[in-house]
Amino acid sequence: MPAELLAGAALGEAFNILHEVVKKYGRKALNFNSAFKRLKRNLDRFAPAMEEIRKAGEELGLPKDETKSLIYQIKKGEELIRKCSKKNWLLRIFKYYDELTELNAAIVTFIKVDMNLQTRRDVLRLLKAMQKTKETRPSYSVPKPPDFIVGFDVPLKELKTKLWEESLLLLTAPGGCGKTTLVKMLCQDGDIKDKFGDNIFFATISNAPNLKVIVQTLLNHAGAQVPEFQSDEDAVNHLQELPKRIGLNPTLLILDDVWPGSETLLEKFKFHMPNFKILVTTRTAFTRFSSYELKPLDAKDAMTLFHHSTLQDGSSCIPDDILDEYIDKILKGCGGFPLALEVIGGSFRGQSVEVQLSRLRKWSTDDIISNIDLHKCLQRSLEFSGPEVKFKKFITDLGSFPEDRRTYTAALIDMWAELYDLGEDGVDAIATLQELNNRHLASLVMTKKDESEFSRYYNEDFVTQHDLLRELAISESKQEPIEKMQRLIMDIRENALPLWYTKQNQQPTNARLISISTDESFKSSWCNIQAPNVEVLILNFQSEIYSLPEFVEKMDKLKAVIITNYGFFYAELINFQLLKSLSNLKRIRLEKVSIPSLFKAPIWLRSLKKLSLFMCSFGQAFGNSTMKVKDASPNLMEINIDYCNDLVELPAWLCDVILLEKLSITNCHHLSALPKGIEMLENLEVLRLRSCTELSELPDSIKSLQKLRFLDISDCLGIRNLPKDIGELRNLEELHMKGYLLNLNLRNGLPQSTEKLKQLKLVICDDEERAKLWEPFMEVLTNLEVRIVEKEISLIWL
């Protein structure tokens, strides 16, 4: 919503009436009365914007209370002009000179001051409201359906009809048939949106449902207070609060990917209240509930989807004369399953005609076409050759992260940088993920468009992978004996440890990557794993208290640790000090972790180069910290802190990280100031402070960062001016100032020292007025490009 629309519809309407009255009755007065001239000139100037306000206000239903006083004055002005239009109009114009002047001043003051303040406040409210939904909580917002869908129009109509009749309905079909896609389409349907509005909740259950997290998230989405549950029974008891929050409003709850054995779970969500409906997607029908079965695509729709999946640069990459000979057999082998059609079709992209022909010949003669096996069908897509072989390892690596969860690309970048030397900046990793996305082997969501070399920051981008493809990836990783595996991927449910894991005389594994995922019920003591060659360790869990495995201490070659909490509340880490003896550890990424738990014992990480904290809780972590970072982590070069909502101030020891080259702090809305002594970061090249809405200023000492090349202060609403000595940043090449930053408070222009920024090549903003601030310096800053990009508020990462 543009900020200038926040004044309300009533004001725009009153303003336009006054403007028309002045134009109608004021022609003669313009020649005699300077007050009238000024009023007419300002009304003409503000009229286009106020008309937009009026129209938008009607559409959006914006508040009227704050503009009542000005509306009252405008209506008085309208009466005044009408009086002046009567007989003896000349005498009346001069008689009401003071009142016309007062009206003009009131309008100008409101436009320039009051509306600006209201805009700033409303934007702050908007961002804080957004932040509440982002903080650390899983979202129940409905994912968007794919861009291209075929063959679901009839099933959508039938499913909708069935849903009106039932309070709980199952949508059943084998995996890969498109159940989730159909549900996403349903949520975009006009009738459904009209019926349920914002009360559509979407939850992915998977094969290990965590009832506590599901209930906590649902209550949070409904605006209820979220407690810590002692048991599943306690969670169910609190779930009864939901009807009180929803009231009689029609509500649709979607439980996606419910596995067999979860019938009792569904019963817990049934409420005896009108207009409450539950839609469940499952591979197996539960006889006690009504169901709608989704059929595979027919031959025509299967052909259309397959052709679309092979498209490259807008046209099919398989010549028609080659495809026609084998297409019927290939389609029969895919069995009408959309997942198979997309994956197999995508496997032909970018291949030579010879490779395509060879695959078509082989696959069309497989036994699979006579006895459809979706797993084997998908497995064919991994039959890479030549340079393509490298993709197989990347697909298998994706299995290291839990099913039905978003895997942030930043984690993959850290992993692949150490395993395959894929580059520090993430470009190679993103290119790889885009290739997997093109082949439908994974779904990549990029939340922001790249604007420049420096602005590549992938911490909000993520990847999802279909359950069946993850199962295939794990299966591929288990083709060798345990002791020879390159990847060791363990999903531990409750306390069911693998047999090989509990053997007394376990042989060492040769794995370079170990991934261990546990659920909230896992309480077993860690057994010993001998993994002398492991370089990347991934730990996924759902507990509020989590103890690092003791065998980590012996992983001498460990280079990267990625620890992710998928629970609702922040988790406390125990035994974190086990990492202190790992001399090769270079990267640590923590997600939804309580930081104070890390400072209970000194941790010496002399090789650490990169620290990433995503949606973590800081509490009072730095308040009494006496950490000597220059001794503990003398080689730290990059720190990323994202979506840490309670981060109020940065620690003083940050300024002792003298080798630091990149500091990124984004969406930390309570960060109020940068630490004193920031000028000590003499090697800093990148400073990213995006969406730190309460950051009040950039300190004057920032001028000492002589190696700084990139500065991003977009959406930093509290920053009212740039430092007067900003020009001392002699090596600054790029400045981002997008969003509502510096909202109308730079009308006096940029600091004069700006003309010294001789190396500045690019300024990115999203407002014409802000771009004009740079015009006085364009003759001096001859290499400067001021680029205006489209405004956007992206919630896609939710």
pLDDT higher than 70, residue 559: yes
Residue type, 551: F
Residue ranges covered by each domain of the chain = 3-134, 153-293, 297-383, 672-798
pLDDT in tens, 384-420: 666 677 788 899 999 999 887 889 999 999 999 999 9
Residue 27 pLDDT more than 90? no
The region of weakest confidence among 13-17, 182-186, 639-643 is: 13-17
**Which amino acid, residue 321?**
D
Nearest residue to 133 (alpha-carbon basis) of 735, 724, 669, 783? 669
Residue owning tokens 């009212």: 720
Cβ atoms of 469 and 441 closer than 8 Å: yes
SS3 593: strand
Q: Per the structure block, which two tokens stand in for 215?
A: 């209930």
Q: At 790, is the pLDDT very low, low, confident or very high (cuts 50, 70, 90)?
A: confident
**Pairwise CA distance, residues 349 & 356, whole Å:** 9
281: closest CA among 174, 373, 412?
174
Class of domain 672-798: alpha beta
Burial classification of residue 702, based on how many CB atoms lie within 10 Å of its CB (0-12 exposed, 13-18 middle, 19 or more buried): buried
Do domains 153-293 and 672-798 share one topology? The answer is: no
Q: Provide the residue type at 519 as one letter.
A: D
Question: What digits encode the pLDDT tens for the residues 246-275?
Answer: 666 788 889 898 888 777 778 777 776 777
Would the pLDDT of 687 be above 90? yes
pLDDT value, residue 121: 47
Domain 153-293 annotated CATH 1.10.3720.10: no
What was the pLDDT predicted at 369? Answer: 45
Among the residue ranges 337-351, 438-452, 457-471, the one predicted with the least confidence is 438-452
Task: For residue range 482-514, list pLDDT tens digits in order.
Answer: 778 889 998 887 777 777 666 645 667 889 999
Q: What is the reported pLDDT for 423?
A: 84
Q: What is the pLDDT of residue 3?
A: 33
Give residue 428's pLDDT band: very low, low, confident or very high (50, 70, 90).
Answer: very high
pLDDT at position 61 is 45
Question: Rounded to the nearest 5°, which phi and psi values hold at 658?
Answer: -70, -20
CA diameter of the chain: 111
pLDDT grade for 745, boundaries at 50, 70 and 90: low
What are 411's two structure tokens? 């984690």
> What pLDDT band is residue 296 in, cutting at 50, 70 and 90?
very high
pLDDT at position 131 is 46
Question: Using CA atoms in the order 35, 41, 42, 44, what is the torsion angle rounded to 10 degrees?
Answer: 140
Q: What is the pLDDT of residue 31?
A: 45
The rounded percent of the chain whose pLDDT value lies above 70 is: 73
Helix, strand or coil, per DSSP, at residue 104: helix
**Locus of tokens 């003499």:** 682
pLDDT digits (tens, 9 = 90+) for 36-46: 667 667 666 66
pLDDT band, residue 366 (cuts 50/70/90): low
Q: Is it the case that residue 143 has pLDDT exceeding 90?
A: no
Question: Which among 388, 419, 399 is positioned nearest to 511, based on CA atoms?
Answer: 419
Q: Residue range 600-619: average pLDDT?
A: 85
Q: What's the confidence (pLDDT) of residue 1?
A: 32
If one counts every other C-beta atom within 10 angstroms of the C-beta of residue 790, the result is 7
**Alpha-helix runs per DSSP H in 145-222:** 153-165, 179-188, 190-196, 211-221
Please state which of the ranges 152-156, 627-631, 694-698 shows the lowest mean pLDDT: 627-631
CA dihedral 194, 200, 206, 212 (to 10 degrees): -160
Q: What is the pLDDT of residue 114?
A: 54
What pLDDT does 463 receive? 93
What is the distance between the alpha carbons of residues 618 and 642, in angstroms, rounded to a whole number?
A: 12
Q: Picking from 20-34, 41-55, 449-463, which range would have the lowest pLDDT averaged per residue?
A: 20-34
Tell me what the mean pLDDT of segment 540-544 comes to. Answer: 89
Verdict on whether the full-model pTM lies above 0.85: no
pLDDT at 35: 64
Residue scoring higher pLDDT (233 or 63)? 233
As a whole number of angstroms, the distance between CA 401 and CA 501 comes to: 20
Percentage above 90 pLDDT, the chain: 31
Contact 458, 410 (CB under 8 A): yes
pLDDT at 413: 96
| Confidence band for 138, pLDDT divided at 50, 70 and 90 | very low
> What one-letter code names the amino acid at 683?
N
Tell me the HSE value of 90 on the side-chain side, using a 13 A CA sphere: 3
Mean pLDDT is lowest, of 133-137, 259-263, 466-470, 638-642, for 133-137
**Least confidently predicted of 526-530, 599-603, 608-612:** 599-603
Please say whether the beta carbons of 53 and 111 come within 8 A.
no
Would you say residue 549 has pLDDT above 50?
A: yes
pLDDT: which is higher, 426 or 152:
152
Do 98 and 107 form a contact (C-beta atoms < 8 A)? no
Sign of CA dihedral 210, 216, 218, 220: negative
Q: How far apart are CA 175 and CA 284, in angstroms?
A: 10
- What's the whole-number mean pLDDT along residues 164-182? 92
Cβ atoms < 10 Å from Cβ of 58? 13
CA–CA dist 4, 101 (Å, integer): 25
